[in-house]
Amino acid sequence: MDYLRGVYPAVLTAFDELGKFAPGPYEAYIDHLYAKGIHGLYVCGVSGEGLMMSPEERERVAEVAVAASRGRGHAVIHVGCGNTADAVRLARHASRIGASAVGCLAPYTGSFGLDSLIAHYTAVAEAAHPLPTLIYYTPQVAPSLGSYAVLECLLDLPGIAGVKFTGTDASELACAIFERSGKQTVLTGVDEMFLAALLMGAHGGIGSFVNLVPELFLEIYRLACAGCWEQAKPVQRRMIQVIRIVERFPFLSALKNVVRWQGFDLGEPRQPHARLTAEQQRELRDLLSSVFRFEGA
């Protein structure tokens, strides 16, 4: 799956004032991201609120994202669920509608041993076939897949083509890249580590903050591909400034407010995600104004 390189937003999902999926604003936002130059989309991940939606809703979101990506980039559909049956359903659907790949978080509804995880990922990969399957490794969300040793076992399964590595242990990421990047795709999911991951040999990244500043990620990626590591450092620093400010606030609401200030109203995240108060909105915008330009304002 060497073609899955580059910069992928963990794309936010658009909801209307009633909290229902809003395909029109979603398509407009995807158009904006592709116009910036991204290489594809990671759809219905944690930042895309896939875990907050029913399987039927996720299928509809996936259909819109795949259609909007044709001829422009790769749509990777996250199919991770709290149970195997729903994950298999979503993987089969992603394959049927022409997605480029699927990503899969481990079940997050309990504590599962290695045999259970092997059975889960085997079923998902078989359902996604012939699409490749990426393991979504994020121990803080799905602690059943909480160790690199378990991840290594799962990466050896048929149909598993790589990993979205959202663990924060840089030594584990380095091992994954060293041991896997020659035959599987390794994408970082920690935006603060984007440049470092590329330096170690990662194929690219899938990130929440790509939604806000895709141009910074793309510039870092371009410079990294050219071997211009020193020139990439100040771009990474600027991106981290944005991250540090936004992370002071309720996360998904902050992301969606910033995108709205850029001209794309994706609604608010679903409850129980907290929403920014009017005071928090003012504070966030004031803080970001020193490092960030609101193009849609």
Each residue's pLDDT tens digit, 98-112: 999 999 999 998 889
C-alpha dist (Å) from residue 43 to 47, 52, 58, 252: 9, 13, 9, 15
Residue 293 has pLDDT above 80, yes or no: no
The terminus-to-terminus CA distance of the chain in angstroms comes to: 39
Number of domains in the chain: 1
d(CA 270, CA 282): 21
Question: What proportion of the chain, given as a percentage, has pLDDT over 90?
Answer: 93
**CATH number of the domain that 106 lies in?**
3.20.20.70
Residue 265 has pLDDT above 60, yes or no: yes
- Residue 22 counted as domain residue: yes
d(CA 212, CA 255): 7
pLDDT attached to residue 296: 55
- Residue 17 counted as domain residue: yes
| Mean pLDDT, residues 220-240 taken together | 98
* Residues spanned by the domain of 123: 6-227
pLDDT band for 2, please (50, 70, 90 cuts).
low
| Mean pLDDT, residues 44-57 taken together | 98
| Mean pLDDT, residues 234-257 taken together | 97
Global pTM? Answer: 0.96
- Residue 260 counted as domain residue: no
The mean predicted confidence, pLDDT, of the chain is 96
| Mean pLDDT, residues 187-209 taken together | 98
- Residue 274 counted as domain residue: no
pLDDT band for 292, please (50, 70, 90 cuts).
confident
- Residue 255 counted as domain residue: no
Residue 263 has pLDDT above 80, yes or no: yes
Residue 149 has pLDDT above 90, yes or no: yes
pLDDT band for 290, please (50, 70, 90 cuts).
confident
Residue 1 has pLDDT above 60, yes or no: no
- Residue 74 counted as domain residue: yes
d(CA 172, CA 200): 12
- Residue 289 counted as domain residue: no
Question: From the CB of residue 11, how many other CB atoms can be counted at a distance below 10 Å?
Answer: 28
- Residue 65 counted as domain residue: yes
Rg (CA), the chain: 18
pLDDT band for 291, please (50, 70, 90 cuts).
confident
Token code pair at residue 125: 């990969």
